[in-house]
Amino acid sequence: MANSPRPLVAGNWKMNGVNASLDEIYKLADKLKGGAYDCNVMICPPATIIRAAKKAADGSRIEIGAQDCHTQQSGAHTGDLSAAILKDAGASAVIVGHSERRADHGETDELVKQKAAAAHSQGLVAIICVGETLEQRKAGETLEVISGQVAGSMPEGCNAQNTVIAYEPVWAIGSGLTPTVEEVAEVHTHIRKDITSALGDAIGGEIALLYGGSVKPTNAEELMAAANVNGALVGGASLKADDFFGIIQAYE
């Protein structure tokens, strides 16, 4: 399987995860020991357990990320968390523009762009999410929607060290439905074209493009083999070490 860009298998725990869930990180660290997996591995737990998760992952290859950040680094924004705060807690990356935040909090491309810039300014990797709704797919608007989100959500200065893009069709998230491998490849190849024409081959060709939406141990190998797919952003199946490990094994 292609190892450039370097693949990433990231787990998005969403609003799931308490101290007891750290056991899954210990279990995963144990499972990963000694194996040769040609990918980076990350877990993005709720912010309240980032520090403990980082400690649980200590000595393993598991990196810890966050799920959202504010556009500012500090100030009067009750309840929000900045990239600086997340970094201080132990995060090395942060998801921005997840469709659940776009839907639940009305986040726009412009806001997502500012959040990604805020992440970059703290040295965090921004995992920028894009994805079409079922209505948009049915109307044949998928590629146009994705192009708009990619262009609108990427700040200046994106490169393979500070940016990952995750394609997550909204209708595939948590539904058990996935696009066909051909449909995934079509969108990923389209994103690759967009970012190489915007940033040049050297930079645009090296940014990892993750697929997300009902990735499971049973479909991971097939989806990860699609053209221009450089890993996965996994929701439900990242909560249990056994399932998440089953997905990582696509890179064995």
**Which residues are 44's β-sheet partners?**
12
The answer to whether residue 182 is catalytic is: no
Measured from the CB atom, the residue of 158 and 237 that comes closer to ligand 13P is 237
Question: Which residue's CB comes closest to ligand 13P?
Answer: 235
Closer Cβ to ligand 13P, 31 or 216, answer by number? 216
What DSSP assignment string belongs to 44-109?
E--GGGHHHHHHHTTTSSEEEEES---SSSSSS-TT---HHHHHHHT-SEEEES-HHHHHHH---H
Q: Between 155 and 236, whose beta carbon lies closer to ligand 13P?
A: 236
What does the binding site for ligand 13P look like in residue numbers (CB under 6 A)?
Answer: 12, 98, 168, 173-174, 212-215, 233-237
Q: How far apart, in whole angstroms, are the C-alpha atoms of residue 7 and residue 45? A: 20
Q: In angstroms, what is the minimal distance from the CB of 99 to ligand 13P?
A: 7
Nearest 10 degrees: Cα torsion 91, 93, 94, 95: -140
Q: How far is the CB of 58 from ligand 13P (least distance, A)?
A: 25
Of the residues 70, 98, 120, 190, which is catalytic?
Answer: 98
Q: In the complex, what is the shortest distance from the CB of residue 74 to ligand 13P, in angstroms, rounded to a whole number?
A: 27
In the complex, least distance from residue 236 CB atom to ligand 13P, rounded to whole angstroms: 3
Query: Which structure tokens are listed for 117?
Result: 């810039």
Active site residue 168: yes
Nearer to ligand 13P, 64 or 233 (CB): 233
Q: Is 127 left (phi over 0), alpha (psi -120 to 50) or beta?
A: beta
Find out whether 149 and 130 touch, Cβ atoms under 8 Å.
yes
- Residue from 100, 132, 168, 206 carrying the catalytic annotation: 168
Residues serving a catalytic function are: 98, 168
